[in-house]
Structure 1
Amino acid sequence: MSDRVASPLRRTLDAIYLASGALSGICLVGIAVTIVAQVVGRELGFVVDSTETAGFCLAASTFFGLAYAFRGGAHVRVTLLIRYAGPLPRKLVELWCIGFAICAFAYFLYWAVDLVYFSWKFNELSPGLLAIPFWIPRLAMAVGSAVFLLALVDEFIAVARGGTPTYEANAETALGDLPEAGE
C-alpha cells in the first residue's frame, strides 16, 4: 500500500473492507455460540436448533470475508505463468483476471440481490425449528458479494494506473513465514 496515497476515499474503502472482515469474524463467533448453545441445551433438556443458524453464519462469514481476504493476499492465486512474464504482459494478465472476476461477480451479485428480493417478497421461511426469513441470511451473501465486487473494481483501477496489486503486496504477510523449497 506504500504506492497509494491515503486519501479520504482510500481510507473509506479500507474501512469498508475491514468492517466486512470484522463481520466475517463475528459470524464465526456466531457459529461457536450456536453450537455451544446446542450442547448446553441438550444437557439441560431443551432443544436448540443450531444446524440451520450455524449454516447461515457460515455462509455469511464466507461472503463477508471475501473482500478482506482478497485485499490481504489470502486468496489462492496460481502465478505459474505470470511469475516469469515481463512487466507489460504481467499487467495485462492481472487486468484480464481481475476484469473477468469483476464480470463474474457482477453477474453473481445481480442474482444474489434477485434472490434476496424474492425471498422477502414471498416471505420465504427456513424449514427448521426457528422460522428465520430467508432474506436475512441471503442479504449477508449479497452484501458480502457487493463489498467483494467493490474491492475487485478498486484493485482493477489501481493496477490499471500502474500500482502493485494489493493482494500481491500483502501476500507474504497473509502466508506468514513459509519454509523455502528444500528446507
Structure 2
Amino acid sequence: MDALYLAAGFAAAACVALILLTTLVQIGARAAGVTVLGLTSYAGYLMAASTFLGLAHALNSGSHIRIETIGKLLGKNRYWLDLFAFAVASAVAVWFAWYSCSMVYWTYVLNDISSELDATPLWIPQSTMAIGTVLFAIAILDNFLTLLLTGHHRIQASTETL
C-alpha cells in the first residue's frame, strides 16, 4: 500500500504543478487578449485533487498534525490514546470516503455539470476527492490495525518541532 500512497502523493504534486501551469496560461492569455474558458475552475479542481490525493501519503510521512505533548505525558499509556484516536479517525475517514463515493455516483447519475461556461461533468473532478478519501481511510485503518496487532503504528515521526 505504501507504493500506492506514494503514487497518490506524486499525483498530488503533479496537480500543484498543473495549477501553476493553468495560472501561467491564464496570465499569458489575458496579456494576449484571449479568453480561455474554464481555467479558474480547473485550477480549483486541481487544488481539491492535490489536497485529497495527498492525504494518505501525508499521514504516513508524519505531516498531519498530532498532539505529541499529551502523548509524551501519558508515557506507556500513550498506546490507549493512539488506539482511541485511530478508532475515531477510522470511523470518520470511512464515513467521509463512503459519502464522497456516493456524491460522485449521484453526480454521474444526475449528469451534474459545472455552472461555468466549460460545462465540465462534475463527477470527473469529484472522482479525485473520492479516490483520495478512500486511500486516506485505508491508510488510517492500516495504521489502526497495525497498532492494534503490533502495538506500534506506521506513521513516521515528524522531523519538525514547534
Band of TM-score, shorter chain: over 0.9
- Give 2:158's aligned amino acid: A
**Match of 1:97, SS?**
helix
1:155 aligned onto 2:143 = yes
* Equivalent position of 1:142 in the other structure: 130
* Equivalent position of 1:42 in the other structure: 30
User: Do the aligned residues in 2 keep the contact of 1:73 with 1:166 (CA within 8 Å)?
Assistant: no
1:24 aligned onto 2:27 = no
Distance 1:170 1:136 in 2: 35
- Give 2:41's aligned amino acid: E
| TM-score computed with the length of structure 1 as normaliser | 0.83
Distance 1:75 1:21 in 2: 14
Identity of aligned residues (%): 32
Of 61-70 and 40-49, the range deviating more from structure 2: 40-49
**Displacement, 1:129?**
2.4
- How many corresponding residue pairs? 161
1:171 pairs, out of 127, 138, 158, with 158
Distance 1:55 1:101 in 2: 27
| TM-score computed with the length of structure 2 as normaliser | 0.93
**Displacement, 1:170?**
3.3
* Equivalent position of 1:121 in the other structure: 109
**Displacement, 1:130?**
1.3
User: Do the aligned residues in 2 keep the contact of 1:158 with 1:164 (CA within 8 Å)?
Assistant: yes
User: Do the aligned residues in 2 keep the contact of 1:71 with 1:170 (CA within 8 Å)?
Assistant: no
- Give 1:154's aligned amino acid: D
Aligned-residue Cα RMSD (Å) equals 1.4
* Equivalent position of 1:60 in the other structure: 49
- Give 2:48's aligned amino acid: A
**Displacement, 1:163?**
4.4
**Displacement, 1:92?**
1.1
Q: Deviations over 1:24-58 (max 9, x none)?
A: 00110111111111011111221123221111000
**Match of 1:144, SS?**
helix
Alignment CA distance shift 1:146-1:73 (3 Å): same
Structure 1 runs (4+) deviating above 2 angstroms are 161-167
Q: Deviations over 1:90-134 (max 9, x none)?
A: 111101101101100111111111110111011111111211110
**Match of 2:79, SS?**
helix
Segments of 5+ residues of structure 1 without an aligned counterpart are 1-12
Segments of 5+ residues of structure 2 without an aligned counterpart are none
* Equivalent position of 1:14 in the other structure: 2
- Give 1:76's aligned amino acid: I
